[in-house]
Amino acid sequence: MSVVSLKKIGENKFECPVCNSALEYNSGGAVRIVNGQVDYENTKPRYICYSCNKFYRELLDSGFYDVFDLEEELRKPKTKRVVKKTGDLAPMILKKDADGTCECPRCGERMNYIEADAVRIVNGVPDFSNTVAHFACDSCNSVYRRIASTEYFQWNEK
């Protein structure tokens, strides 16, 4: 992913193509000296995603953006997310986005929708864990399974 098109979410606001959070506009700064050489890269405007630690710079007013890793000194320290206790989670309606993800009710990270699959044999033992469609969060290791034939999902052990 070296050149991307950014999705507009408002007037002069764009959405990160990786994590869907709002990008912060930075108009650029002064020329700086890096390793004894003049660095003009800092003067160009860019859109920054502090969640992914990436920034996007437009290519010659084309509407397409180059993707770069954010410099270490500009990265914001990651805040520790509060993970809710499983007992505090009531049954809820979960809907997947177009990319097959939704927000985890427990930790707030993006979780994937896992389609139903056939029974698999793992080490000679049948594995029924993915025979029913469900949501799974890799961040807090939560799984949400549908309650009977309703629209509601409930936290479940893996």
CA distance 25 to 56: 10
Tell me what pLDDT residue 94 has.
Answer: 93
pLDDT in tens, 91-139: 999 998 888 889 999 988 899 998 888 888 889 998 887 788 899 998 8
Tell me what pLDDT residue 79 has.
Answer: 62
The alpha-helical segments, DSSP class H, found in 33-113 are: none
CA distance 128 to 111: 20
Integer angstrom CA distances of residue 30 from 27, 39, 44: 10, 9, 9
pLDDT in tens, 20-60: 888 888 887 788 887 888 878 778 888 888 888 888 888 88
Average predicted confidence (pLDDT) for the chain:
84
Tell me what pLDDT residue 90 has.
Answer: 92
Assigned token pair, 106? 């427990």
CA distance 133 to 117: 8
- Are 84 and 144 contacting, i.e. CB atoms less than 8 angstroms apart? no
